[in-house]
Structure 1
């Protein structure tokens, strides 16, 4: 019975995480011509949602991951989109993004800052690659008391608060920063988003 219960909990967590990636991409209001980046795409559900909004347009979705295993899994699952050039997957650390300045119309992530080795540099990099006036969206649902010991050990910044994160975004030039509470329409679990826009350059 213990194993069965553990399996059910893991399934619930996986379902919640999938819904978070999907809802985050959905809230970006992606247009068909957008260049979109998801940092830490996990199992690819957010990429799939983003790709739906590019149909008939000239846009492109790029996803980054630090896990070779996840990269291989999602590459296999979304091979058709990769073959058409609509999707690109890259293995890299978030603080070492190799994209050109002002490349993206939208950047988003789920629970990213808990795992980033260098939050400060990562935020600088995101600001650099985001076009002026465009959206950077972070979705957050991470409670330490709901994590296994192994999951807690994987966190780089377990005590970093969402308000500290919002303050850091402001320090690096983001504006119109808004923290919002949400409830998932399917399963009812609560989560937060941090919405921020790159300041328009003069």
Structure 2
């Protein structure tokens, strides 16, 4: 019974299912577990009122609501993309007022195939997320593609909590090695990639100062050599 419960939690941590267990884990476990990390990710992103911002894997949406507060009085807008259809449906319901006001856009999709044009976002942030990316190099390339020059990505995590979860068997579908993620960011073109050890959690940053010219051929992004 215990092993079945651990397996259920592990699967729903990777991708909350459209089921009672998925809703319970997604809305109660993840909301409580991620709240501080979400709030700090938004804070560290230094979102300005006219910024266009993307959250990857928004889960129960705690970070989305905090980010929307930053752009309420400006021209900015918050976007969220999530691989769990259950979380997408819930966010569309809970944050309907922000969506109707034109301040929030919710999308069902994957970080490895972001449905946004190049150079769209001023900031990207994510929380307890990169561990579940099956193709991390491609995901980081997509982050780089959709970010504007003079922008950055922020990821927040709690390594001690992750290690404890791994011991319990709850991270069997995850790989939270921060070095692997940082190397993938650097390979994708991010600069000044670093990790900070803050008060009870960690933050990983990847900056983009400038970008080479890009041209689009058959919907494939190719870096121009000129």
Among residues 113, 135, 151, which one is paired with 1:96 in the alignment? 113
Where does the alignment leave 5 or more consecutive residues of structure 2 unmatched? 1-26, 213-226
1:165 correspondence with 2:175: no
Where does the alignment leave 5 or more consecutive residues of structure 1 unmatched? 1-9, 184-189
Instruction: Name the counterpart of 1:5.
Output: none
Give the Cα–Cα distance (whole angstroms) in 1 for the partners of residues 173 and 202 of structure 2: 21
Give the Cα–Cα distance (whole angstroms) in 2 for the partners of residues 74 and 153 of structure 1: 27
Instruction: Name the counterpart of 1:3.
Output: none
Note if contact 1:25-1:49 (Cα within 8 Å) is conserved in structure 2.
yes
Q: What TM-score comes out, normalization by structure 1 length?
A: 0.84
Instruction: Name the counterpart of 1:187.
Output: none
1:28-73 Cα offsets, whole Å, 9 max, x none, are 1100100000000011110111011102101110001111111111
SS of equivalent to 2:79: strand
SS of equivalent to 2:40: helix
Give the Cα–Cα distance (whole angstroms) in 2 for the partners of residues 198 and 95 of structure 1: 19
Give the Cα–Cα distance (whole angstroms) in 1 for the partners of residues 209 and 138 of structure 2: 18
Give the Cα–Cα distance (whole angstroms) in 1 for the partners of residues 33 and 63 of structure 2: 12
Q: What TM-score comes out, normalization by structure 2 length?
A: 0.76
Give the Cα–Cα distance (whole angstroms) in 2 for the partners of residues 13 and 75 of structure 1: 18
Among residues 75, 81, 84, which one is paired with 1:58 in the alignment? 75
Give the Cα–Cα distance (whole angstroms) in 2 for the partners of residues 21 and 123 of structure 1: 20
Among residues 87, 111, 115, which one is paired with 1:70 in the alignment? 87
Instruction: Name the counterpart of 1:178.
Output: 194
SS of equivalent to 2:171: helix
Distance 1:73 1:98, change over 3 A: same
Alpha-carbon offset, residue 13 of structure 1: 6.4
Q: More displaced, 105-114 or 30-39?
A: 105-114
1:194 correspondence with 2:213: no
Give the Cα–Cα distance (whole angstroms) in 1 for the partners of residues 35 and 87 of structure 2: 14
Q: CA RMSD in A?
A: 2.0
Instruction: Name the counterpart of 2:10.
Output: none
Give the Cα–Cα distance (whole angstroms) in 2 for the partners of residues 23 and 62 of structure 1: 18
Among residues 111, 135, 141, which one is paired with 1:118 in the alignment? 135
